[in-house]
Amino acid sequence: YIAVLQLRKQNTPKEKGMPTILCFVGPPGVGKTSIGKSIAEALGKKFVKISLGGIRDEAEIRGHRRTYVGALPGRIITGMKQAGSMNPVFMLDEVDKIGADYKGDPSAALLEALDPEQNSGFEDHYLDAPFDLSQVLFITTANTLDTIPPALRDRLEIIEYTGYTESEKFHIAKDHLLPRVLTANGLSAEMVHLDDTTITMLIQRYTREAGVRSLERTLSKVLRKVGKTRVESQQKEKEKQKETTILPKDVPALLGPEKFDPSLKEASDIIGQATGLAWTSVGGDVLFIEVALTPGKGQVKLTGKLGDVMKESAQAAYTYVKSHAAELGIDEKKLAKTDIHIHIPEGAVPKDGPSAGITLVTAITSAFTGAPVQRDVAMTGEVTLRGRVLRIGGLKEKSIAAHRAGVTTVLIPKENERDLVDLPKEVTQHIKFMPIEHVSEALQTALVKKAKKTKK
């Protein structure tokens, strides 16, 4: 995008208007605003940022007519005034959090400003004259696309930011956050040394997020307590102190007990439990699906705070198993006389989405056939009543979660094979990805085959 701007400056300097408007979409703390500042710095332009979160009045964008008492120009003209330039980098933060009320819809007022074809004549009600925004490099940021109106989304070039892997977080913490936090807390690298294993422990056991904000706060908390200790001992000893080294065993004393347990694969193969993968706003996670059978009339019970889509996915999975009972080696009479209870642990956490379909089929089949599910196999994919495995989203986050849990094989839909190029090398080196088109392929791989009894 920046290369295109350079070429246009060299070859078509009279051409007005930006090629498109950028929109950075990703979870909090992944550096969307920082990239905007870096772009401005790289291009040698002024940087202006306005936050649109919570704006509900259309006049905030377009300004008030001068007939009103206390009339003011809109945020965009005010931002241009602050920049003192006709071609700044203009960041519109939190474009997904704009509200709407009886005073109008602010997102509709943005349509003209964010359309490269129209914004050369943007009309602010206060100015009451066309204002040229065609040279402004607009960058919008959002955490999710769901709440951006379709007409506004159509004008944006969307660049998705995913969460960081553990090794990326480690290098960001060591190279960027630690020097910054040391300075902010009045310390230096000569005074305090954080062992590499300590930083890894803070990432795994004390933070769980897609970005690095919480990690920065945790590092700051550790260094504040070290700083306090040094000041106290300085007053007592009144001599120059040695370097303080913080090892993993020192962390619980500074931050208290560990907040998060790493999601690990099961210790042994279990009948009626399969390992699924889930996407959350703070990265991927491992999902264990448990199935228990009790005498009854063939009813299905679902627990674990599931959303409607996931409940329907469980019903579809059970129907597939019932309709293919003979192929799967399940006694149909047993099906009719057995109630099935599907539970997804961490019952207080809301779960939704269709991508656990393949995991549900595997867990139900395992429970009825008595064949355990291999503990180092995880899976994700939506399942139809015919047993086809459909494409899912969030493969990068899910595969990182599988790698963290120690899984060695991940079953993915055939249609997601093209997404493997986006995965980090550290994940693809340790995990074997198996693209599948039908549930039968998943069952062959995931279920432990029973040894056949040999005749004497």
- As a whole number, mean pLDDT of residues 196-201 equals 92
The pLDDT value recorded for residue 19 is 76
The pLDDT value recorded for residue 360 is 94
Nearest by Cα to 61 from 95, 17, 102, 107: 107
Rounded Cα distance, 117 and 122, in Å: 11
**pLDDT at residue 101 greater than cutoff 80:** no
Paired with 77 in beta bridges are none
Nearest by Cα to 300 from 363, 349, 346: 363
Choosing from 355, 366, 396, 399, the catalytic residue is 355
Pair of tokens at residue 450: 């029973």
Give the H/E segment covering residue 222. Answer: helix 213-237
pLDDT digits (tens, 9 = 90+) for 416-456: 999 999 888 888 888 999 999 999 999 998 988 764 444 54
Give the H/E segment covering residue 140. Answer: strand 137-142
**pLDDT at residue 282 greater than cutoff 80:** no
- As a whole number, mean pLDDT of residues 254-271 equals 81
Give the H/E segment covering residue 112. Answer: helix 106-113
Q: Are 165 and 424 in contact (CB under 8 A)?
A: yes
Binned at pLDDT 50, 70 and 90, residue 275 comes out as very high
φ/ψ of 107, rounded to 5, equals: -65, -30
Q: Which of 79-83, 263-267, 302-306, 394-398 is predicted with the least confidence, judged by mean pLDDT?
A: 263-267
Give the H/E segment covering residue 347. Answer: none
pLDDT digits (tens, 9 = 90+) for 225-237: 998 988 888 777 7
Nearest by Cα to 264 from 215, 200, 205: 205
Rounded Cα distance, 387 and 319, in Å: 10
The pLDDT value recorded for residue 281 is 66
pLDDT digits (tens, 9 = 90+) for 373-404: 998 999 999 999 999 999 998 898 888 888 88
The pLDDT value recorded for residue 389 is 94
- As a whole number, mean pLDDT of residues 340-364 equals 89
**pLDDT at residue 109 greater than cutoff 50:** yes
- As a whole number, mean pLDDT of residues 199-214 equals 89
Q: How far apart are the first and last CA of the chain?
A: 74
Binned at pLDDT 50, 70 and 90, residue 302 comes out as very high
- As a whole number, mean pLDDT of residues 343-350 equals 85
φ/ψ of 379, rounded to 5, equals: -150, 155
Note if 398 is an active site residue: yes
The pLDDT value recorded for residue 414 is 94
- As a whole number, mean pLDDT of residues 412-418 equals 93
HSE-up of residue 198 (Cα within 13 Å, Cβ side): 21
Pair of tokens at residue 427: 């994940």
Choosing from 32, 45, 169, 398, the catalytic residue is 398
CA angle 405, 409, 413 (to 5 degrees): 110
**Strands 377-379, 409-413: pairing kind:** parallel
